[in-house]
Amino acid sequence: MSSNIEKPTVKSSADSLNDYIQSLNAFEKQALDFHSLGRPGKIEVVSTKPCNTEKALALAYSPGVAIPCLAIAKNTDAVYDYTSKGNLVAVISDGTAVLGLGNIGPHASKPVMEGKGILFKNFAGIDVFDIEVKSSSPAEFIAAVKTLEPTFGGINLEDIKAPECFEIEEALKREMNIPVFHDDQHGTAIVSGAALLNACKIVNKKLDDIRLVVNGAGASASACAKIFMSLGVKHENLLMCDSSGVIYKGRTKGMNKYKEEFAQETEKRTLTDALKNADVFVGLSVAGAVTGEMLKTMAKDPIIFAMANPNPEITPADARAARPDAIIATGRSDYPNQVNNVLGFPSIFRGALDTRATQINEAMKLAACHALAELAQEEVPDTVSASYGGERFKFGRDYLIPKPFDTRVLLWVAPAVAKAAIHSGVAQKPITNWIAYRDRLEAIQGPEKVFIRSAIHQVHQIAERQGRLPRIVFPEGTSVKILKSIRALIDEKICQPVVLGEEKNILELAREHAIDMEGIEILAVHNNPLIKKYGAELFKRRAKKGIDATTAEQMMNNPNYFAAMMIDQGEADGMVNGATTNYAEAVRPIIKTIGLAKDHVPAGLNILITDNRLLFLADTTFNMNPTSEQLAQIAIQTAFVAEQFKQKPRIAMLSYSNFSGADGTPSKMKKAVEIIRRLRPDLIVEGDMQADTAVNSDIQNSIFPFSALGGEANILIFPNLESSNISYKLLQQLGKVEVVGPFLLGVRRAANVLQRTTTEETIFNTVVLTALEAQIIHDKRAEISKNSTHGKS
């Protein structure tokens, strides 16, 4: 018998996901796209050995692979010599406590674990496999992880809920012979421990005298409390609170053996009670847990670490309003003193892996604490300031711990951890040459990691001083790639963009591709009243070159010519074109309209960013067969660019021979070297020389010890356009390099030309550097004008 009762509709997983995506705001959709576009996810496995010949394949796999297998079988320690185990960490989670999202399961935790892998790689050169475990109990999780010991050099536990995380870590540390580290506990503890050391130093309080309150009793709170006591805080002076109030002796509600460790004999029952006369508040709980009134009862010069994420227990502004004498830290990057775990775990594992430590023990954690605290007391170099918009940092109340992009962190923390591993007896491979070890650590850090970000911050710093962002013109208003890149440029506050084209067409294209056009100025070229003015100006300059007034005015209908004239006339600061035009057609209006700087040579410059260096290549686009004089000037112009990025120029004048000076190219390059040494004796330059000699210091040292380079060249000047253009384009397509450019050298104003194969990222990078170039030119012109005025007076 049939029923007329309607069954309730049950949404499918696909429908639920679609509803979720529809509910996202613009940033959240960007985050989803970031993870899905191109190859899904954020990580890949890359070969460290060439495997592109039959012989290489035979060595990498059968039959050659049997040889290291047999070697390892004879001595299992050899696994570190013949495999990646010594630089490989497993980031493992069961997804029970993911960020602030809670128990969302192992599948949903995977983006976080991949992200953790990126941080390991970028900050310490450590390779990672992320492993998400589906387990029903701590015992099952422990059993699964234990089986992985032959594969990995270390285990990073992540996002596992308390109290299970304590049991899991304790068991794995006890039963495994490689480092096991629960970063949610110890990473936060180590970094906040460093901050506490320095905060106490600033307010002149001793750790064994301070009264400290921890709000929160989860994994990170417990670990923080333990490391604070290891640093010198007395057990009886530490009160821990959870959602039920103070953890005291005899309390039964919500207690477990891990909380019992911090129970005190006290009459205090609430967080408000606990904070009275306390010197330090450490929050690892929830937003709004503390009020200004509560802070007013704390002791003089209170130390307030409100580290709940994403929103702290009390905002720095509210804390400062209640206690102007407070030292404040949070877990957020938009406030001073961010307690960021990335200051800890990459460098800690680096030190542990490099000594083949069997564990990360208390001595190693404390060594990391002290290293971070001591580094913060050092003078902060300009390179760090440049990574943070030119902001100056100095040890004090608003600078307790180093910044995450301070590349010195690895150089301080990893050796400190390694030494502690050795001294505490857990290192299986002691380091004996610490100078060589520091060199190894420096080799991990390539300038590419901070190159564009540094340039962005320079743009911001100069813009603040100049009082404006540079106005950059984009003639190709109907290029989707250009429009999408401009959106990112606005979000990063790089420039004031002006797009040339018909507004109706551009807006229609933007709607079609869901591009937000807010803040983007659109300027029509057709029938623009400036065409007559610009045409007359071009005719005045180019009449002797055969251009009549009518032709000059007609040329201004070409957006590339119009954009170039805007710059020439001071109505814009820079331009970027070439995304839809071949190079010659894109560069011609710039040279004809803007022209060259005095005594300069037009040339193309490409910047190659590799894993460990910057290379400046010229001339890659312009001069077919430049003379020695032209090559010398191109090299000097390129050296100036390198210096803007804090690179000491080492110039190699390339040829097919090494120091032969033979007729033809070798002679031309040798003569160029002589000219450079005469014009700029301060520059390091050598040639003629082959490319492999230029970039390989081993070849220089062993075969050509007389070479003046004194190291690997970072500026490569090619003898002709064929060799340079072929070289950089091959490297771009076949090498593991990021190629930025080409950039135009020698032009009076900031104007650069893209390649038609350009990507949105390349456009973004090119515009960042064009904006920076425009700002530098603006400063130089202002200085010339100032000097001229003073000369007249």
d(CA 774, CA 768): 10
What share of residues in the chain are helix, strand, coil (percent, to 5)? 50, 15, 40
Structure tokens at 573: 């600061």
φ/ψ of residue 274, rounded to 5: -65, -35
Task: Categorize the per-residue pLDDT at 792 as very low, low, confident or very high, splitting at 50, 70 and 90.
Answer: very low
User: pLDDT, tens digit, for every residue of 313-342?
Assistant: 999 999 999 999 999 999 888 888 999 999
For residue 2, the model assigns a pLDDT of 43
Which alpha helices (DSSP H) does 389-479 contain, by range? 408-423, 434-444, 448-466
User: What is the reported pLDDT for 1?
Assistant: 42
Structure tokens at 386: 């440049």
User: What value does the mean pLDDT of the chain take?
Assistant: 90
Token digits for 346?
């990459």
pLDDT confidence band for 240 (50 / 70 / 90): very high
From the list 325, 322, 319, the residue with the least C-alpha distance to 307 is 319
- Res 367 pLDDT > 80: yes
DSSP state letters, 720-732: SHHHHHHHHHHHH
Residue 243 CB: number of other CB atoms within 10 A?
Answer: 13
**How much is the pLDDT for 16?**
86
CB hemisphere CA count around 319 (13 angstroms): 26
Q: Taking a C-beta distance cutoff of 8 angstroms, is the pair 135, 94 a contact?
A: yes
Could you please report the per-residue DSSP string of 551-619? HHHHHTTSHHHHHHHHHHTTS-SEEEE-SSS-HHHHHHHHHHHT-BPTT---EEEEEEE-SS-EEEEE-
Q: Could you tell me how far CA 574 lies from the centroid of its own chain?
A: 26
Q: Residue 453 region, left (φ>0) first, then alpha (ψ -120 to 50), else beta?
A: alpha
Over residues 256-279, the mean pLDDT reads 94
What does the pLDDT average to over 524-552? 88
Identify the pLDDT of residue 590: 92
Q: For residue 76, what is the DSSP state?
A: G
Tens-place pLDDT, residues 606-662: 888 876 678 999 999 889 999 999 999 999 999 999 988 878 999 999 999 999 888
- Measured N-to-C along each axis, helices 480-491 and 760-792 cross at an angle, to the nearest 10 degrees, of 60
The residue written with tokens 């709940």 in the block is: 308
Residue 38: how many other CB atoms lie within 10 Å: 8
Structure tokens at 100: 């602030």
Integer Cα distance of 577 and 474 in angstroms: 6
| Residue recorded with tokens 């709170």 | 221
H helix intervals, 203-275: 219-231, 257-260, 271-275
Active site residue: 85, 110, 116, 173, which one? Answer: 116
Q: How do beta strands 738-745 and 603-609 pair? A: antiparallel
Confidence of residue 450 (pLDDT cuts 50, 70, 90): low
Task: Point out the catalytic residue in the list 61, 146, 493, 780.
Answer: 61
Give the pairing type, strands 238-242 and 212-215.
Answer: parallel
Mean pLDDT calculated for residue range 284-306: 95
pLDDT > 50? residue 354 = yes
Chain centroid to CA 505: how far?
37
What is the per-residue pLDDT for 50?
78
Angle between helices 665-679 and 628-644 (to 10 degrees): 50
Sign, Cα dihedral of 540, 546, 548, 552:
negative
- At residue 445, the pLDDT reads 72
Tokens found for residue 466: 């100049």
Separation of alpha carbons 3 and 484, rounded Å:
55
**Beta bridge pairs of residue 329:** 305
Question: How many angstroms separate the CA atoms of 741 and 536, rounded?
Answer: 32
| DSSP code at position 82 | H
What is the identity of the amino acid at 736? Answer: K
CA dist 142 and 408 (Å) reads 36
Q: Which residues of 510-546 are buried (b: 16+ CB within 10 A; e: fewer)?
A: beeeebebeebebbebeeeeebeebbebbbeebeeee
Between CA 228 and CA 278 the distance in angstroms is 15
Of 121-135, 142-156, 591-605, 727-741, the range with the lowest mean pLDDT is 727-741
Q: How far is CA 168 from the centre of its chain?
A: 33
Q: In terms of C-beta density within 10 A (0-12 exposed, 13-18 middle, 19 or more buried), how is residue 648 classed?
A: exposed
Predicted TM-score of the model (pTM): 0.64
Q: Which pLDDT value is given to residue 612?
A: 66
How confident is the model over 512-536, as a mean pLDDT? 90
- Range from 91-100, 170-179, 296-305, 733-742 carrying the lowest mean pLDDT: 733-742
Predicted confidence (pLDDT) at residue 579 exceeds the cutoff of 80: yes
| Of the candidates 574, 489, 461, 469, the residue with the CA atom closest to the CA atom of residue 765 | 489
Q: What is the pLDDT of residue 449?
A: 46
Residue range 175-223, pLDDT digits in tens: 999 999 999 999 999 999 999 999 999 999 999 999 999 999 988 899 9
- Beta strands 212-215; 496-500: pairing state: unpaired
What number is the average pLDDT over the span 533-558? 88
Cα separation of 641 and 636, whole Å? 9
Asked if 683 contacts 651 with a C-beta cutoff of 8 angstroms, the reply is yes
Q: Let me know how many helices (H) and strands (E) the chain has, helices first.
A: 32, 21
Beta bridge partners, 155, equal: 90, 180
Q: Which of 128-132, 170-174, 419-423, 692-696 has the lowest mean pLDDT?
A: 692-696
Question: What does the alpha-carbon distance between residue 403 and residue 385 come to, in Å, rounded to a whole number?
Answer: 10
Is 61 catalytic? The answer is yes
Is residue 470 over pLDDT 70? yes
Whole-angstrom Cα distance, residue 734 to residue 490?
Answer: 32
Q: Give the number of C-alpha atoms closer than 13 A to the C-alpha of residue 469, restricted to the C-beta side.
A: 19
Phi, psi of 294 (to 5 degrees): -65, -40
Between CA 715 and CA 701 the distance in angstroms is 19
Do 402 and 376 contact (CB within 8 A), yes or no? yes
Q: Which helix (H) or strand (E) holds 687?
A: strand 684-689
